[in-house]
Amino acid sequence: MASITITLLGHASFRLEPDSGEVVYFDPWLDDNPTCTMRVSDVEHADLVIATHGHNDHIGDSFEICKKTGATFAGNYELCVTAEKNGLKLGSQAMPMNPGGTIEPAGVRVTATQAFHSLSMSPNQSLGDAPPDEYFRPDGAVCGIVMGFKNGTTVYNTSDTTVFSDMQLISQMYGPQVAIMPVGGLYTMGIREAARAASFIRPDIMIPCHYGELQGQPADIEALSNAVSFLSPNTKVVKLDPDESVTYTTSGFKLN
């Protein structure tokens, strides 16, 4: 049976390790993340680093991890241009895509989807002089990401977004068994919207993220679980604490 182990590093940062051997860091905000105990210096190996948009709590330490490990960076075109400014060669070390596009770095089929969130590049990432009075720079798009692994498992990370009806289309096209989505209800959808999103996507397991008292975005995960069980009875909400992981197999899952 195919399996994948998914570890919440903190906030919205994850490490994904399918039994086909790839190591993927997703939106890895480590060094300045108050919810994360792992630091860039602790990363020993990575094959692929994916960032969904240019806010620091998502782009985070992506470029540094790639430079340290030799991993490929994947993100939208503007993020990859920024990656090149940070020392990663565009087209090889930094592989661009936009919503609707698919690339296949490190043997992982990565498809960008739409998401609805504010667009900006955190200023410390944008090297070079900024235009007068401009604090944020556009980062092109916020992308959800569908990851298809060689072992047959598919994971959909919605990234920062509200619920939208075309999540049903994403589900129909890619059939993700695992969905990861924010539930904080301030800068992203909350538990009401996330429960409806789960009913659109209908994964086997849903992993909530981007919430917590420390971030000023508390969320009632028990209420989320109850709502999901009503709207999508075959979906199980799996709550992870930082540094906790879940191993999903094609026939079930277990908390580690």
- pLDDT, one tens digit per residue, over 7-51 is 999 999 999 999 999 999 999 999 999 999 999 999 999 999 999
pLDDT on residue 135: 46
Q: What is the pLDDT of residue 125?
A: 73
130 pLDDT above the threshold of 90: no
| Phi and psi based region of residue 100 (left: phi greater than 0; alpha: psi -120 to 50; beta: remaining) | left
Describe the strand order of the beta sheet including 3-10 as a list of residue ranges: 94-97, 72-76, 48-50, 24-26, 13-18, 3-10, 245-249, 252-255
pLDDT per position as a tens digit, 42-100: 999 999 999 999 999 999 999 999 999 999 999 999 999 899 989 999 999 999 999 99
Give the bridge partners for 7, in sequence order.
Answer: 15, 245
CA–CA gap between residue 100 and residue 77 (Å, rounded) = 13
Comparison of pLDDT for 11 and 126, the residue scoring more: 11
Q: What is the pTM of this model?
A: 0.93
Q: What is the pLDDT of residue 1?
A: 85
Distances (CA, A) of 210 to 12, 119, 178, 181, 189: 5, 17, 17, 8, 10
- Strands, sheet with 205-209, edge to edge from the N-terminal-most edge strand: 102-103, 109-114, 143-148, 154-157, 178-182, 205-209, 236-237
Q: What is the pLDDT of residue 236?
A: 98
Average pLDDT in the chain: 93
CA separation, residue 142 to residues 22, 115, 117, 136 (Å): 24, 6, 6, 15
Among the listed residues 252, 205, 251, the one whose alpha carbon sits nearest the alpha carbon of residue 228 = 205
Q: Over the stretch 137-174, which tens digit does the pLDDT of each residue have?
A: 666 789 999 999 999 999 999 999 999 999 999 999 99
Residues forming beta bridges with residue 180, ordered by sequence position: 157, 207
3-class state of residue 178 by DSSP: strand
44, two tokens = 């020993």
Q: Report CA-CA distances (Å) from 215 to 71, 111, 141, 184.
A: 29, 29, 24, 9
Which three-class secondary structure state does DSSP give residue 234?
A: coil
* Cα–Cα distance, 40 to 69 (Å, whole number): 10
Please give the structure tokens belonging to residue 79: 């993020």
Per-residue pLDDT reduced to its tens digit, 199-254: 999 999 999 999 999 899 999 999 999 999 999 999 999 999 999 999 999 866 77
Evaluate if residue 122 carries a pLDDT over 80. Answer: no
What are the tokens at 176?
Answer: 């993700």
Express as a percent the part of the chain with pLDDT over 90: 85
